[in-house]
């Protein structure tokens, strides 16, 4: 397995673009915080003074992030659950309220998919991806919004999605789910503005994390050729954007989708499964007139 992404020491020491106490007094909930982008987001928020609630399915991954956050001097509440379970999500928000009086920011980062030609998806596989990325994200958004409404407190949600505007062959299930999250976010940005709740999405392009190991070598090797910068982005690129949107700099931003993708949304042909000859070899259509 190839090593991708930052070491713990790098996450703690790489320079940040914000002043060190920017988020002092605020509490943030980050899902999928045991690994990759979520871990970088949690540590970055913690380094800027936020208190953290971190969740994911595997307690051992959360323990590692908890230890790192403590090294950064941040207060942290780890809470293992699957975001696919709405009752567990309600319990998570209750636990956050009991510990910190509630949260100010929610970062829905937990998610993932597997590469497969759409024609071969099983109902179970398709539903697993939609349940996690769309329904799970929604349960978190709704539970947080209800708590903010009941506390008469403002809040900010940032949903991590993907670059799905042109679709992405090999991950049609996640494209469907992420497009759903974007549409949900824009809709509730309007419904929830009267409650003081802002809702934005961040669409990362290819970001160097261990999660990349789910893709075949051939697809991974080709990834740097799918954006204008010709490289992977970093988890910190995503984390710093999340700080902007969830923190005070984002006070007048809602219903937005911000890409952090090296320009992949406008250039770069990204496949996560082998390309059919149709797209690699010059040929005439075998279906003339159709
Ligand atoms: C290059 C850019 C790509 C797009 C941008 C995004 C990049 C990234 O997201 S980077 C990586 C992020 N991390 C992951 O993707 C994590 C790895 N993926 C997963 O954990 C799973 O895919 C999951 C999201 C479906 C997890 O759900 P879970 O409930 O744990 O699912 P199961 O493992 O139990 O599987 C349920 C069901 O799904 C089908 N399935 C799962 N994996 C595959 C596979 N590799 N190929 C085909 N089908 C798969 C299958 O039907 C499973 O049921 P069973 O057959 O009964 O196991
Ligand atoms: N890396 C990239 O290039 C890109 C990533 N993304 C998205 O960014 C997010 C983070 O990706 P990345 O860090 O790379 O990948 P990882 O696989 O490292 O992170 C995914 C995280 O989600 C958690 N998770 C998955 N399912 C659930 C669930 N049902 N309930 C709670 N937690 C869950 C996992 O923890 P656990 O297994 O313990 O539950 C894990 O910590 C994902 O949504 C991903 O799809 C989007 C575009 C590009």
Residue at 13 is within a domain: no
Residue at 214 is within a domain: yes
Instruction: Tell me the C-alpha distance between 137 and 127, whole Å.
Output: 14
Task: Confirm or reject: Cβ of 42 under 6 Å from ligand 2.
Answer: no
- The mean pLDDT value of the chain amounts to 96
Average pLDDT on 30-45 reads 98
Tokens read off for 207:
């970001």
Task: Confirm or reject: Cβ of 178 under 6 Å from ligand 2.
Answer: no
- Proximal ligand: closest to the CA of 137: 2
Task: Confirm or reject: Cβ of 203 under 6 Å from ligand 2.
Answer: no
Q: Which atom of ligand 2 is nearest to the CA of 132?
A: 29
- pLDDT given for residue 1 in this prediction: 57
- pLDDT given for residue 21 in this prediction: 97
Q: Let me know the angle formed at the C-alpha of 182 by 162 and 222, rounded to the nearest 5 degrees.
A: 15
- pLDDT given for residue 138 in this prediction: 99
Residue at 146 is within a domain: yes
Task: Confirm or reject: Cβ of 155 under 6 Å from ligand 2.
Answer: no
Task: Confirm or reject: Cβ of 200 under 6 Å from ligand 1.
Answer: no
- pLDDT given for residue 2 in this prediction: 66
93 with 139: CB under 8 angstroms?
no
Residue at 288 is within a domain: no
pLDDT band at 284 (very low <50, low <70, confident <90, very high): confident
Residue at 5 is within a domain: no
CATH of the domain at 42: 3.40.50.720
In the predicted structure, residue 94 carries a pLDDT above the cut 70: yes
Residue at 6 is within a domain: no
Number of structural domains the chain divides into: 1
Instruction: Tell me the C-alpha distance between 116 and 166, whole Å.
Output: 17
Residue at 185 is within a domain: yes
Q: What is the pLDDT of residues 118-175, one digit of tens each?
A: 999 999 999 999 999 999 999 999 999 999 999 999 999 999 999 999 999 999 999 9
Task: Confirm or reject: Cβ of 65 under 6 Å from ligand 2.
Answer: no
In the predicted structure, residue 18 carries a pLDDT above the cut 90: yes
- What is the pTM (predicted TM-score) of this model? 0.97
pLDDT band at 286 (very low <50, low <70, confident <90, very high): confident
Task: Confirm or reject: Cβ of 56 under 6 Å from ligand 2.
Answer: yes
124 with 114: CB under 8 angstroms?
no
pLDDT-wise least confident of 37-41, 72-76, 268-272: 268-272
**Domain that includes residue 134, residue range:** 20-279
- Proximal ligand: closest to the CA of 172: 1
Measure 50 CA to ligand 1 centroid, in angstroms.
31
Measure 111 CA to ligand 1 centroid, in angstroms.
9
Q: Closest residue (by CA) to atom 3 of ligand 1?
A: 272
- Proximal ligand: closest to the CA of 238: 2
Measure 276 CA to ligand 2 centroid, in angstroms.
28
In the predicted structure, residue 83 carries a pLDDT above the cut 80: yes
- pLDDT given for residue 228 in this prediction: 98
Residue at 215 is within a domain: yes
In the predicted structure, residue 285 carries a pLDDT above the cut 90: no
Task: Confirm or reject: Cβ of 233 under 6 Å from ligand 2.
Answer: no
């Amino acid at each position: 397995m190839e090593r991708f992404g930052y070491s713990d020491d790098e996450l703690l020491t790489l320079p940040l673009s914000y002043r060190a106490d920017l988020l002092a007094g605020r509490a943030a909930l980050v899902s999928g915080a045991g690994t990759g982008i979520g871990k970088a987001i949690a540590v970055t928020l913690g380094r800027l003074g936020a208190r953290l609630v971190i969740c994911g399915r595997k307690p051992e991954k959360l323990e590692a992030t908890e230890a790192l956050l403590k090294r950064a001097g941040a207060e942290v509440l780890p809470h293992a659950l699957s975001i696919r379970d709405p009752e567990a999500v309600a319990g998570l928000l209750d636990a956050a309220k009991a510990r910190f009086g509630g949260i100010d920011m929610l970062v829905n980062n937990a998610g993932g998919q597997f590469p497969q030609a759409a024609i071969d998806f099983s109902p179970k596989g398709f539903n697993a991806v939609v349940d996690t990325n769309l329904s799970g994200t929604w349960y978190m958004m709704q539970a947080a919004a209800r708590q903010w409404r009941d506390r008469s407190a403002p809040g900010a949600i940032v949903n991590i999605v993907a670059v799905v505007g042109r679709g992405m062959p090999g991950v049609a299930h996640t494209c469907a789910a992420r497009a759903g999250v974007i549409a949900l976010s824009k809709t509730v940005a309007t419904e929830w503005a009267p409650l003081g709740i802002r809702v934005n999405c961040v669409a990362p392009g290819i970001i160097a994390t261990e999660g990349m190991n789910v893709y075949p070598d051939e697809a991974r090797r080709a990834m740097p050729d799918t954006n204008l910068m010709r490289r992977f982005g970093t988890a910190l690129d995503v984390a710093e954007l999340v700080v902007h949107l969830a923190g005070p700099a984002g006070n007048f931003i809602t219903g937005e989708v911000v890409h952090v993708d090296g320009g992949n949304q406008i250039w770069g042909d990204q496949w996560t499964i082998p390309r059919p000859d149709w797209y690699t070899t010059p040929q005439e259509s075998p279906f003339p007139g159709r």
